[in-house]
Chains A and B, each alone.
Chain A
Amino acid sequence: MPENINVHALLEGMTAALRRRLQEDGIDDPLMIGIQTGGVWVAEALHDKLQLQQPLGKLNISFYRDDFTRIGMHPQVQPSSLPFDVNDRHIILVDDVLHTGRTIRAALNEIFDYGRPASVILAALVVRSGRELPICADIVGEELQLSDRQHVKLTGPDPLKLAIQESK
């Protein structure tokens, strides 16, 4: 298991993969949306490296979670802000860790309440084992096989660091 993951190198790899993907699909002006909080940090870095024209969108998926009645509200998280019209646009959705897939399910539902995008591709810094829904990432920084007891956490925004923790 890699103790120290080089986030910087992962971001470079993702940037190159995103460039290839956008070129293949003939997309020249995509919108990028990061999921609060870690996904926004990753999205800020990718947005910068890709030099995208449109401002970065930020999504707080709290109101779309399926475990709301179990974990309650987190008012500290910043509100959603999508400073553009998503209708008929190509969207790059960015998160820090893809685990169960439930966050992405919630994020897609929220995006569709803003409008009907032409397409959505998913970029994740870390894709770990433990999927509970039929969701996969198009652009992957690093793939990790982890047990249920292991957690991967991104801290940031400066510097961005990945750590794997073990719970009892």
Chain B
Amino acid sequence: MKQQDIQLDSQGRLRHFLTIEGLKRNILTDILDTAENFSTVGTRNVKKVPLLRGKTIANLFFEPSTRTRTTFELAAKRLSADVLNINISTSSTTKGESLLDMLRNLEAMHCDMFVVRHNASGAAHFFAKHVAPHISVINGGDGSHAHPTQAMLDMFTIRRHKQDFTKLTVAIVGDILHSRVARSQIHALTTLGVPEVRVIGPQTLIPKDAAGLGVHVYHDMKEGIRDADVVIMLRLQRERMQGALLPSANEYYRTYGLSPSKLRLAKPDAIVMHPGPINRGVEIASSVADGPQSVILEQVTNGIAIRMAVMSMVLGRGPEEEAEE
């Protein structure tokens, strides 16, 4: 017996956004198309649409974040919602309040949506399982599990440059094992029909079940990057290096850092992506990060449109019973 996806309502519409895994291609495409509509709002005189006027969105960040939190906040504000930023490491959990108690308190303040970032995998699911029926939860990154809005903004950036997903070779390089970004990207890429997804990294940083995700594993970067249309570099999480999983930053750069000469092995019009924050000279050369093939700052801009799209889709579903159009 298959349990119904907690992310979907009875009519199959997005109710929460927790993970890409299990979502159908049409939902991902709807998110991309809706984001396309929102992408012009930021360039206008008044950078705001009244769609979510009167809604209250709480950003619950249990883990530090600059890009993700600010782009969620900007997205909510551009939709005219009211935003509450709660930095939990400095809040009541230090006073011993349980997650569930915190949730009930926020519900009592009539919030309509929670954006949750947490260092434990499954945190956003936990919230989604326990919230009142009218509240939506968006995963802003949970442990090493998923970061679905990041993956969707990456898909949006790829589509803007490459149009047809079904003809692409995409290489993801770095610490795949600990990366919620990579995991969500792999699900998104395969769902959107990308025929060749490669993951490149040292054996210690590639998950054992990688092949089961429908990707090809490479340990030699020069081989893996060859003829790629899209090269996605991941941040080397320096905090992991103490765990003896890696030699040194210098050594890492030599083997898995994206240098101009390695980039030349990819297609001449390949784009270079990175979810940020970048470690210059560790996973990517400065000249590549700032070079003509880099779309890293576009990714940041696109993050706002994607987050606007997801927020408006989950809060603007309409009633559960089919309304007459």
Nearest B residue to A116, CB-CB:
B45
CA distance A157 to B167 in the complex (A): 32
Complex contact B37–A113 (CB within 8 A): no
Q: Which of A71, A109, A114 contacts B44 (CB 8 A)?
A: A114
Give the Cβ gap from A76 to chain B, nearest Cβ, in Å. Answer: 7
Are B33 and A75 neighbours in the complex by a CB distance under 8 Å? Answer: yes
State whether A73 touches B48 (Cβ < 8 A).
Answer: no
Stretch from A77-85, A88-96, A139-147 forming part of the interface with B = A77-85
Chain A residues with CB under 8 A of B319: 70
| A69 and chain B: residue at smallest CB distance | B316
A72, B30: Cβ atoms closer than 8 Å: no
User: B49 contacts the other chain (Cβ, under 8 Å)?
Assistant: yes
| CA of A113 to CA of B49, assembled, Å | 8
Bound together, the chains give a CA A79 to CA B37 distance in angstroms of 5
Chain A: number of interface residues, binned into ranges: 20 to 34
Q: Which residue of A lies closest to B47 (CB)?
A: A113
Q: Which of B33, B45, B51, B318 contacts A71 (CB 8 A)?
A: B318
- The CA-CA distance from A79 to B50 in the complex, in Å, is 16
CA distance A71 to B318 in the complex (A): 5
Complex contact B325–A68 (CB within 8 A)? no
- Is B313 in contact with chain A by the CB < 8 A criterion? yes
User: Which A residues are in CB contact (< 8 Å) with B48?
Assistant: 113
Whether A114 pairs with B46 at a CB distance below 8 angstroms is yes
A109, B30: Cβ atoms closer than 8 Å: no
Task: Place the interface of chain B in its size category.
Answer: 20 to 34
Using a CB-CB cutoff of 8 Å, which residues 303-325 of chain B contact chain A?
Answer: 309, 312-313, 315-319, 323, 325
Whether B318 pairs with A72 at a CB distance below 8 angstroms is yes
Task: Kindly identify, within residues 29 to 43 of chain B, every residue whose CB is under 8 Å from any CB belonging to chain A.
Answer: 30, 33-34, 36-41
Q: Is the CB of B316 within 8 A of A113?
A: no
Tell me the B1-58 residues at the A interface (CB within 8 Å). Answer: 13, 30, 33-34, 36-41, 44-46, 48-51
Q: List the one stretch of A26-34, A56-64, A121-129 in contact with chain B.
A: A56-64
Q: Which of A62, A71, A79, A80 contacts B323 (CB 8 A)?
A: A71
Are the CB atoms of A72 and B317 closer together than 8 Å?
Answer: yes
Partner pick for A75 among B30, B46, B49, CB 8 A cutoff: B30
CB distance from A152 to the nearest CB of B (A): 15
Interchain nearest-CB distance for B9 vs A (Å): 11
Q: Is A63's CB under 8 angstroms from B49's CB?
A: yes
Q: Give residues of chain B (46-72) contacting chain A, Cβ–Cβ below 8 Å.
A: 46, 48-51
Contact A76 B33 (CB under 8 A): yes
User: Chain A contacts of B45 at CB under 8 A?
Assistant: 113-115
Given contacts A69-B316, A69-B318, A113-B46, is CB(A77)–CB(B323) below 8 Å? no
**Which chain A residues lie closer than 8 Å to B318 at the CB level?**
69-72
Q: Are A63 and B323 in contact (CB under 8 A)?
A: no
A72 interface neighbour in B44, B50, B309, B316, Cβ under 8 Å: B316
B46: chain A residues at CB < 8 Å are 112-114
Q: A69 contacts which chain B residues (CB < 8 A)?
A: 315-316, 318
Write the chain B residue with the least CB distance to A78.
B37
- Across the A-B interface, give the 4 residue pairs with the lowest CB-CB distance, nearest first: A75-B33, A113-B46, A63-B49, A75-B34
17 more A-B residue pairs beyond the given contacts A60-B37, A63-B38, A75-B309, with a C-beta to C-beta distance below 8 A: A63-B41, A64-B50, A64-B51, A70-B318, A70-B319, A71-B318, A72-B13, A72-B313, A72-B316, A73-B34, A75-B33, A75-B36, A77-B37, A110-B49, A113-B45, A113-B49, A114-B46
Can you list 6 A-B pairs with a CB-CB distance of less than 8 A? A63-B312, A71-B318, A73-B316, A75-B33, A75-B36, A77-B37
